[in-house]
Chain A
Amino acid sequence: MKAKVYVTLKSGVLDPQGKAIQHSVELLGYHGIADVRQGKYFEIALDSALDSAAARETAERMAREVLSNPVIEDFSVEISEA
């Protein structure tokens, strides 16, 4: 089982790094970019004995307790077989 965890800043939280990235790509000549938000991505290999519900439960708990800070960030979890 593999868990993919995406951690993103909550919509109200200023993202100075995203702003800097947006500024840089605009300098490179990319047009039509309304906003860039930066986040984190984790790939977690889980024990193959876990079924997908148990894998999701484990990954969501990790995301909530460690991988994200609930004050400023949201997360989402995807579970796949491989």
Chain B
Amino acid sequence: MKFGVIVFPGSNCDHDAYHVISKHVGQPVDFIWHQDTDLSTYDAVIIPGGFSYGDYLRAGALARFSPVMNSVREFAASGRFVLGICNGFQILCEAGLLPGALIRNRELHFICDYVHVRVETADTPFTSELQKGSILHLPIAHAEGNYVCDDETLAELQSDERIVFRYTDARGELTEEANSNGSRFSIAGICNRERNVLGLMPHPERACEDLLGSSDGRDIFRSLAATLAALV
């Protein structure tokens, strides 16, 4: 199995993602410059966090027009796996690969903190090694992480069990305070209808070593690796 990490001008979590795949998942991984368009040798691509194009216009809005994104669209349509983290989630929403949008945090501030998210479904390639209801301790670092969508989209996300992560307190309770960016329905991460594209605001790649405060993020990458291993 082979992973790719897409690099836009302004990406800044690309090396973290690369490190996790090479060191903790133990699989081959390449950086993919946003001008490249050949994804044929990859099984999964990660769209990392950062500030692609300086967040100009809207977070993720300009990255959507990079040449690699047409390839990502075809890659996703072919059933291969796409993981968008933070700015990567914003890009996937702007590109229409995931529904909804991420707007300015409710309290306006950039939030850099550790949060808890509850796993809402283990039925995705990214959470298959986790249990529904597990609590992960993960960092967030964003100013536009306030997830919004219309009523129809929310109903569809719920009925299809496509809400993958929700912000909770340490005990797994949904509270207003735990939903620090103000996201609708405390949504921290969702997947597409086919379940092969996941976007989330928290940074699992920054939480893969105890030294960094949490290693809970590893299970997301391990789930993806286990899914890929089972396909071979």
* Interface residue ranges, A against B (CB under 8 Å): 12-14, 16-17, 20, 66-67, 69, 71-72
Interface centre among A14, A17, A67, by most B CB within 10 Å? A14
Q: Is the CB of A14 within 8 A of B58?
A: no
Complex Cα–Cα for A66 and B93 (A): 13
The answer to whether A16 and B108 touch (CB under 8 A), given A66-B57, A67-B57, A69-B61, is yes
Answer whether residue B121 sits at the interface, using C-beta atoms and an 8 A cutoff.
no
Within 8 A of A (CB), among B44-99: 57-58, 61, 65, 93-94, 99
Q: How many pairs of A and B residues are in contact by the CB < 8 Å rule?
A: 37
The answer to whether A69 and B108 touch (CB under 8 A), given A13-B148, A14-B148, A14-B182, is no
B188-217 contact mask (Cβ, 8 Å, vs A): 1 or 0 = 000000000000000000000000000000
Q: Is the CB of A14 within 8 A of B61?
A: no
Answer whether residue B15 sits at the interface, using C-beta atoms and an 8 A cutoff.
no
How close is B11's CB to chain A, nearest CB, in angstroms? 21
Q: Is the CB of B101 within 8 A of A72?
A: yes
Q: Is the CB of B61 within 8 A of A66?
A: yes
Give me 9 A-to-B residue pairs in the complex whose CB atoms sit less than 8 angstroms apart, sorted by A's number. A14-B182, A16-B146, A17-B104, A20-B108, A66-B65, A69-B58, A69-B61, A69-B94, A71-B148
DSSP class of B's interface residues: helix, strand, loop or mixed?
Answer: loop
Q: Which residue of A lies closest to B60 (CB)?
A: A69
The answer to whether A71 and B108 touch (CB under 8 A), given A14-B182, A66-B57, A66-B61, is no
Answer whether residue B105 sits at the interface, using C-beta atoms and an 8 A cutoff.
yes
B106: A residues at CB distance < 8 A:
14, 16
B10: A residues at CB distance < 8 A:
none
How close is A35's CB to chain B, nearest CB, in angstroms? 17
Answer whether residue B149 sits at the interface, using C-beta atoms and an 8 A cutoff.
yes
Q: Is the CB of B57 within 8 A of A71?
A: no
Within 8 A of A (CB), among B131-156: 146, 148-150
A71: B residues at CB distance < 8 A:
93, 99-101, 148-150
Q: Which residue of A lies closest to B65 (CB)?
A: A66
Answer whether residue B103 sits at the interface, using C-beta atoms and an 8 A cutoff.
yes
Answer whether residue B107 sits at the interface, using C-beta atoms and an 8 A cutoff.
yes
